Amino acid sequence: MVPLFTAKQIVYINNSLFNELINASFIILFFEVMRNITKYVSNISLGVYFRESLKVLQLKSLSSLLNIKNKNLDNLPSGVIIERVNNDCGKIADCIPIVVEHLSEIISNFGVIITIFFLNKLLFLYLLFGAVIIFIFKNIRIKKWFEFDKKRRKANEKSTSFICEMIRGIRDIKVLNANKSFLDEADKRLKYKNKVNYDGRKVLRKYDLITGTIHDLLNLFLLLSGVYLLKNNLISITAFVTIYLYKDRIYNLFNAYSSLQEVLKDFELSSTRVLDIIEGDKYERESFGNKVLKKAHGDFEFKHVKFSYKKNIPVLKDVSFKVKANTTVAFVGKSGSGKTTIFNLLAKLYDIDKGEILIDGININELTEKSIRGNMTIINQSPYIFNLSIYDNLKIVAPKATKQDMINACKMANLHDFIMSLPDKYNTIVGEGGITLSGGQRQRLAIARALIQKTEIILFDEATSALDNETQDEIQKAIDNMKREYTILIIAHRFSTVINSDKILFMEDGVIKDEGTHEELLQRNKNYKELYELELKNQP
């Protein structure tokens, strides 16, 4: 309706028909107001849709990411994850609003095209022919864009991954005096990314130039045709003005359809990349059983366990041992003997190749995730401290913990006095990775974070390695206080940490060579005795 009344306005002005002009103007105003109201309501609805769907997609991606096997995550750069969780989820969520916008454009343009058809069928066919020609080139452009976009995203992932690595390792880069080499590598990756972008867009610009030129030529011939028809009284001035004013609506109809195809292609690519994480076969998922162990007693056993991180490079060759509940067992051996791997397998961070692991007599593969990981806590050698307050670092792993629980855990970890000396105390933000804390303070916070979970099994993986002797003694006292109440496993290079254990397992080259108390191993195991004497010799 609007094109017809717009053309009539021009005729009314030329013929000084002012009453008719005002009436036509009010009719146009009514349609425009209705369109604006509809668009406003639509935009609000689509805005809510975008906000909620983006949140759901990103949370689902993160949830699925936590369910991917560690062996896949080991080879998955963080930049790839960031690109997919942020950019690709955003593109998927944005698809529906954009599709609705293009469909609205197609519907409104279709109404105008019907009007043009009834005004003059000859000019309608001419415009339709021109739109089809442009559409063919637009279609070729979309295929080129799809090919280019796949390359562009891969290049973006590589550069983003390296930049993330630089940011995380910025302090090491400085002390290694490696600024130039890292900047050179960043320059190389960014240059490649920008070249892919430039080359791809250069091809797109070529097709834009072709379609733009065709469009301009078609408009020129339309004007000449209209003049001819007007001179020969084959069309009315109102009809021609309407057609000429809204000639681009036929082109826009095809353009909107082409753009819709482009959005759907983009949606398809983004969906593939996100669904690889959410439910695809590209990354293996962790699998657990359905048996529930609400509160573990603390007994567990390894039976002829074999494991390799990489094929044909065995880490554990044939490991068997038993641990009784509420006992303290230590693992001793040179680096690379497989001690940390035992902890990783016990927490089912990796699946064993052969053998069996039992917790309270139940095969670990039969238990639920919560039954395994909810009953044990691992305190690593290099724990990750989150860029939150001390309070939130504790609260995030134990949401039901009280402030007093946190204070008690920090006291046991010999950290409370230090926290109280800070201006913001437990509300102190510790920075990414706990950078504002010393190595010993980070480790003590990790110990407090583990203690507050109150699990039945606690695994200390070199958890006291970054502590000074005095602080280590305090932590050792805390560990001694937990004895007989928890099943405690300890990996430590410092023999002072393990000599009071109920049992020590001595490992060499992926095999448990011997087991016994500290005194028993000193007397009968030559290699164990050499390690112990070497530590005594190196003590200040």
Q: Which tokens sit at 94?
A: 């944005």
Which of the four pLDDT bands, split at 50, 70 and 90, describes residue 539?
Answer: low
Domain 2-278: which topology? ABC transporter transmembrane region fold (1.20.1560)
Q: What is the pLDDT of residue 175?
A: 62
Q: What is the pLDDT of residue 120?
A: 81
Residue of 371, 352, 349 lying closest to 361 (CA atoms) = 371
Range with the poorest average pLDDT among 8-22, 40-54, 58-72, 310-324: 8-22
Distance of CA 332 to the CA centre of its chain: 37
CA–CA separation, 22 vs 115, rounded Å? Answer: 22
Could you tell me what percent of the chain has a pLDDT over 70? 94
| pLDDT tens, residue by residue, 413-468 | 888 988 999 999 999 998 877 888 887 788 888 888 888 887 888 888 876 665 66
What's the chain's average pLDDT? Answer: 82
Report whether pLDDT(410) > 70.
yes
Give the mean pLDDT of 476-484: 70
Give the mean pLDDT of 296-301: 86
Residue 286: left if φ>0, alpha if ψ -120 to 50, beta else—which one? beta
CA–CA separation, 120 vs 225, rounded Å? Answer: 12
Torsion 355-359-361-362 (CA) sign = negative
Q: Answer whether CATH 3.40.190.10 is correct for domain 300-538.
A: no
Q: What is the pTM of this model?
A: 0.68
CA–CA separation, 150 vs 174, rounded Å? Answer: 35
Phi then psi for residue 242, to 5 deg, are -60, -50
Q: Are 219 and 99 in contact (CB under 8 A)?
A: no
Q: Which tokens sit at 257?
A: 């359809």
| pLDDT tens, residue by residue, 120-162 | 888 888 888 888 888 888 778 877 877 787 788 788 877 887 8
Could you tell me what percent of the chain has a pLDDT over 90? 11
Range with the poorest average pLDDT among 316-330, 484-498, 518-532: 484-498
Torsion 59-63-68-69 (CA) sign = positive
Q: What is the pLDDT of residue 363?
A: 93
Distance of CA 263 to the CA centre of its chain: 22
Please report how the helices 89-119 and 248-278 are oriented relative to each other, as an axis angle in degrees rounded to 10.
160
Looking at residue 433, the DSSP 8-state letter turns out to be G
| DSSP β-ladder status, 362-363 and 376-379 | unpaired
Q: Are 454 and 293 in contact (CB under 8 A)?
A: no
Q: Encode 44-65: b = buried (16+ Cβ within 10 Å), e = exposed.
A: eebeeebeebbeebbebbeebb
CA–CA separation, 137 vs 210, rounded Å? Answer: 8
Q: What is the pLDDT of residue 466?
A: 57
Report whether pLDDT(358) > 90.
yes
Residue of 297, 270, 311 lying closest to 150 (CA atoms) = 270
Report whether pLDDT(303) > 90.
yes
| pLDDT tens, residue by residue, 369-393 | 888 888 888 887 777 888 889 998 8
Most confident residue range from 36-50, 120-134, 355-369: 355-369
The full set of domain ranges for the chain reads 2-278, 300-538
Sheet with strand 300-310: strands edge to edge: 313-323, 300-310, 354-359, 362-363
Give the mean pLDDT of 172-177: 68
